[in-house]
Amino acid sequence: MKPDTWKSALLSVLIAALFIGVWHLATLPKAATAQSAANDEYAVLLGKTSAKQTGFPPPLEIGKAIVKYLGDPFYDHGPNDKGIAIQLGHSLGRVGIGFLLAALVAIPLGFTIGMSPLIYRALDPFIQVLKPISPLAWMPLALYTIKDSNISGIFVIFICSLWPMLINTAFGVAGVRRDWLNVARTLEVRPLRRAFTVILPAAAPTIVTGARISMGIAWLVIVAAEMLVGGTGIGYFVWNEWNNLALPNVIFAILMIGLVGMALDHLFAMLQKWVTYAE
Amino acid sequence: MPYLQVSNLSKTYTPGAEPVFNDVRFSIERGEFVVIIGHSGCGKSTILNVLSGLESPSTGDVIVDGREVKGPGLDRGVVFQSHALMPWFSVLENVCFAVRSRWPDKSRAEIEAQATQYLEMVGLGHALKKKPAELSGGMKQRVGIARAFAIQPKMLLLDEPFGALDALTRGTIQDELLKIVQATQQTIFMITHDVDEAILLADRILLMSNGPRARIAEIVEVTMPRYRTRAGLHHDPQYYRIRNHLVDFLVSRSNDYAGLPPGEPRVLRPGLDEDPVTSPPVVRLVS
Ligand SMILES: Nc1ncnc2c1ncn2[C@@H]1O[C@H](COP(=O)(O)OP(=O)(O)OP(=O)(O)O)[C@@H](O)[C@H]1O
Ligand SMILES: [Mg+2]
């Protein structure tokens, strides 16, 4: 096992190096190889430093952006120029609040649905219709009724986090083994205690799987939502840098979105491991 | 008045189909140990679930301690055929869960002490912190037994509690059970497939005919001194008479009872009454 992880890590590094190498070669300024040194000087005299403003940015430019933004992640120079940590913080804040609100609704409601086939059947048509709606489709409605772009963003996260958690909670609760419920019944366990000591632990792996899916979707959606709403957040940062034609910054932001998404998913993977039980 | 009285019990799972069993009637005295034997699928577990209140009968009723059974209760402890341990709890927590349900006001230390005491009784003092998934089938079953005993119910309902145990462990736990029963005078209803186990433990053995429309066909009184031991059992000539009667029933007579009119089951004392194997099943008609 150990040597294998070591090997796979080495291979990952090699693949990354190869990718960056190919990228570097593909974005080398073509002028440098074709033109003479004299022409180069001529270009410098004319104020054209290189082809970097027009072509796809080489990896070195991204490296510079990384050093620049991670070197000072917390600066705040007005609405259009904030450090990357501040922008990510805004996005994570919206995702966190929207996700928690969704959990507060989805888990109790999912419990009710999961325990009562009647309520399940009554609510099923609504869930089936609401679930496939792209969360961004709610944005105009949210902006119109809430009139606050920040809260509208949170609302969109709330809506998109709701369904996977709701459905998984209901599914997990409905699937709790009869034997365990029977044990609770023969011990005359009160409903609230039964919910917390039997049903919740029994359904926890399914519920956390739903939460993990919700969080994944929320992190996908927040970038798009912030592009639409503007103001703050990593999505707005991407949009703003695109408007500045600062592609290295856009690529840097993409990298950060990926890394934060991975960290969030890892968090839920750990939670999942913690609540999973072997039968 | 008997502690438990079952009359005219029947259970039909699918409407329109034949009942799994019908006209089941028997009673259990306070402090009595009653074992039920019958072929797989005849409805033993269903009867036990009705007694526990987990299932409701299609017809008939169950009276326990003067009250009709309407649902499960702490006065009846159940050992499930599938042990039904909570896999997210440790062994100790599984038993503590039951003890806390019975005595919500006890302190944590008291609850743990009592749970530990019953786990030690079934020989699991060394495995308190283990999760059920880390236990063998027999160990899981012993946790289930400890959980049921730990709430000190007035009556115990055991569904093949020793089914998953190897012969050696089975013997030890049977001895433990005998000891506890003799000390506590607990009323017990137990299902088993093991004829010797039935003779060792029971005061009376209910023989169930094959389904559908299964019923309690015969009731065998274990006419041996109450305080039996595994070692002394086979020195008693009564043991072989009872054993032969039970095996004969299971092998050749359990099908003969289908379609008989309703009535009280025959009460038999093998070797002391007439030879039951040669006499045909007669059901005494009740008005
Ligand atoms: N929930 C259910 N729905 C429909 N049929 C059932 C249900 N539970 C049990 N049965 C049927 O009732 C009959 C009796 O089942 P039961 O589990 O009581 O048998 P048993 O005597 O305990 O058998 P075993 O010795 O194998 O444990 C079986 O034929 C079974 O198929
Ligand atoms: Mg059974």
C-beta of residue B54 within 8 angstroms of C-beta of residue B3: no
Under 8 Å CB-to-CB from A257, ≥6 apart: which residues? A219, A223, A234, A238
Asked which of A46-55, B74-83, B101-110 is least confident by mean pLDDT, the reply is: A46-55
In chain A, where the domains are located: 2-53, 84-275
Residue nearest to atom 8 of ligand 1 (CA): B46
Q: Residue B218 is inside which H or E element, if any?
A: strand B216-221
Band (pLDDT 50/70/90 cuts) for residue B286 is: very low
Does the pLDDT value for residue B275 go beyond 80?
no
Higher pLDDT, B286 or B215: B215
Closest CB from B52, B76, B87 relative to A279: B87
Pair of tokens at residue A121: 């059947």
Mean pLDDT computed over every residue of chain A: 88
Q: Residue A54's pLDDT is what?
A: 59
Ligand 1 pocket member B41 (CB < 6 A): yes
Three-state secondary-structure class, residue A257: helix
pLDDT for A38 equals 52
* Nearest residue in chain B measured CA to CA from A190: B101
Residue A175 CA to chain centroid, in angstroms?
Answer: 29
Helix (H), strand (E) at residue A183: helix A178-186
Q: Which of B74, B88, B132 sits opposite A187 (nearest CB)?
A: B74
Q: In the structure encoding, which two tokens stand for residue A38, read together? A: 């004299």
pLDDT digits 0-9 by tens, B107-131: 999 999 999 999 998 889 999 999 9
Q: Where are the domains of chain B?
A: 30-56+66-75+157-287, 84-152
Q: What is the CATH number of domain A84-275?
A: 1.10.3720.10
Whether ligand 1 lies within 6 angstroms of the CB of B20 is answered as yes
In chain A, % of residues over pLDDT 70: 90
Helical pair A84-115 and A234-243, crossing angle rounded to 10 deg: 140
Percent of chain B with pLDDT over 70: 95
pLDDT in tens, B204-239: 999 999 878 899 999 999 988 877 888 888 888 889
Evaluate: CB of B45 within 6 angstroms of ligand 1: yes
**Mean pLDDT lowest among A108-117, B135-144, B227-236, B273-282:** B273-282
CA A279 to centroid of ligand 2, rounded, Å: 21
For residues B265 and B284, give the distance between their C-alpha atoms in angstroms, rounded to a whole number. Answer: 8
The model's confidence at residue B82, banded by pLDDT at 50, 70 and 90, is confident
Each residue's pLDDT tens digit, B126-163: 999 999 999 988 889 889 999 999 999 999 999 998 88
Q: Residue A174's pLDDT is what? A: 94
Nearest CA to ligand 1 atom 2: B13
Q: Do the beta carbons of residue B146 and residue B123 sit within 8 Å?
A: no
With DSSP H G I counted as helix, E B as strand and the rest as coil, what are the percentages for chain A, rounded to 5?
A: 80, 0, 20
B74 with A179: Cβ contact below 8 A: no
* Confidence (pLDDT) at A149: 87
User: B85: distance to nearest CA of chain A, Å?
Assistant: 7
**What number is the ipTM of this complex?**
0.88
> In terms of CATH, what superfamily is B30-56+66-75+157-287?
P-loop containing nucleotide triphosphate hydrolases (3.40.50.300)
What is the arithmetic mean of pLDDT over B62-86? 92
Q: How far is the CA of B43 from the centre of ligand 2 (A)?
A: 7
Q: Is the pLDDT of residue A208 over 80?
A: yes
CB contact under 8 A, A182 and B84: yes
Residue B33: strand pairing partners: B188
d(CA B37, CA B253): 13
Angstrom distance (rounded) from CA A206 to CA B103: 32
| C-beta of B43 in contact with ligand 1 (< 6 A) | yes
The answer to whether B231 touches B241, Cβ cutoff 8 Å, is no
CA–centroid distance, residue B14 to ligand 2 (Å): 18
Check whether B168 has a pLDDT greater than 60.
Answer: yes
Q: Which residue has its alpha carbon closest to ligand 1 atom 26?
A: B40
Give chain B's length: 287
For residue B161, how far is its CA from the centre of ligand 2 (angstroms)? 11
B18 lines ligand 1 (CB under 6 A): no
pLDDT in tens, A149-182: 889 999 999 999 999 999 999 999 999 999 999 9
Total-model pTM: 0.85
For helices A149-174 and A139-146, angle between their N-to-C axes, nearest 10 degrees: 120
